[in-house]
Copies of this chain bind each other. A is one copy, B any other.
Amino acid sequence: MFTINDNYLKLQGSYLFSNIAKKVAAFQERNPGAEIIRLGIGDVTQPLAPAIIEALHKAVDEMGNAATFHGYAPDKGYEFLRHAIVENDYKARGCEVYEDEIFVSDGAKCDCGNIQEIFGLNNKVAVCDPVYPVYVDSNVMAGRTGLYNPTNENYDGVIYMPCLSQNNFVPELPKEEPDLIYLCFPNNPTGAGISKENLQRFVDYARKIGAVILYDAAYEAYISDPDMPHSIYECEGARECAIELRSFSKNAGFTGVRLGYTVVPKDLKSSEGVKLNDLWARRHGTKYNGAPYIVQRAGEAVYSPEGKAQLKTQIDYYMKNAKTILQGLKDAGYTVYGGENAPYIWLKTPDSMNSWEFFDHLLSTVNIVGTPGSGFGAHGEGYFRLTAFGTYENTLKAIERITKM
């Protein structure tokens, strides 16, 4: 008789955003007239930039012609895309990253979820708290944690690094020694950035204790502070201890197009000398079959002069939203964080409401969807996330509604 992977039974409820979607759908059904504004899930609203649309059409035409048709993609992604990535995301910032260290994929969520597979089950995982749920959930599903403890709202065996207003939402080095450290900056959900000095502190620590940092840089395009690192490879020694995960979802609006990549430097080796690059290549080759050709061409267009200019306008648009939310909430007396180097605003819930109470309050009173901070971890309780990814009109309207609430 077959058995299931009972680690799945340790998981609490369903995936956070599926949960919210269900709650919102139920509310809409009860209130068909309500004009709901969604500032919850980090999904973009601006259409794809013209340079990307043009690249997609061109690639589609190639697929309709036998002479230019493309079947299975190369395991790590097309060279044209990996080349553009290395030149623009790394060389241009003085980082040493090579084309055969880039693994193109269908998005950072998949990579974030799958990357843990190449590590042993005995590795101790450290995460920020609050945190993007995929890091924790994927490790729970693999069996790298104990049971959920309802008292402290933690999974046994996971090291939680509190991110609080007191530490500007940048964690201290953990007291207990981890083997895998998940970091995401600019941060989802708090919107906090990290200084190069603070990131270097983590790199030095990881090298000292022999840990690997899994660095999620999905929001780097939103950095406005010129001194803030866009890549962990701006830090000395990171090639020996860090994997970087990148997304096209937020810098180019690819949430529905699906493209991302992971950097696994060849200098990153286990104590036995096994290269993590080889392991990830094996996983990629065996359990994945490449991002669509047309999507990889769209990715290439992100780095064209036209693409860059158009996407800068798009980022500016969202960051104008962020400023609008930040200022509007401040004026209305809220305590707010983030929103300066990230498309997320992290606010303290008012009147001692907990996060889900504020979610329900906001949805029922002014028909606005946000994300309860507690959905991201115990230290997210009493906080709430709003995103800058709505339209400007809706963002303005949302802030007006909240202000009058």
Chain A residues within 8 Å of B, Cβ to Cβ: 1-6, 8-9, 11, 14-15, 18, 41, 43-48, 50, 53, 56-57, 60-61, 63-66, 69-73, 75, 106-107, 109-110, 113-114, 117-123, 133-134, 137-138, 141, 179-180, 209-212, 253, 255-258, 270-272, 274, 276, 279, 282-283, 285-295, 391
Contact = CB atoms under 8 A, between A and B. Distances in A.
Given A47-B65, A57-B60, A295-B292, A1 B210 contact: yes
A133 B75 CA distance: 16
Contact of A75 (B18, B71, B120): B18
17 contacts: A1-B211, A2-B212, A4-B118, A4-B276, A8-B282, A45-B71, A46-B69, A47-B64, A56-B60, A56-B294, A57-B60, A60-B60, A106-B289, A110-B287, A114-B287, A117-B141, A141-B283
A72 B113 contact: no
Nearest to A63: B48
A293 B63 contact: no
A5 B120 contact: yes
A134 B258 CA distance: 23
Number of copies: 2
B11 A282 contact: yes
A291 B45 contact: no
Contacts of A64: 47-48, 50, 53
A250 B73 CA distance: 15
A45 B72 CA distance: 10
A123 B3 CA distance: 6
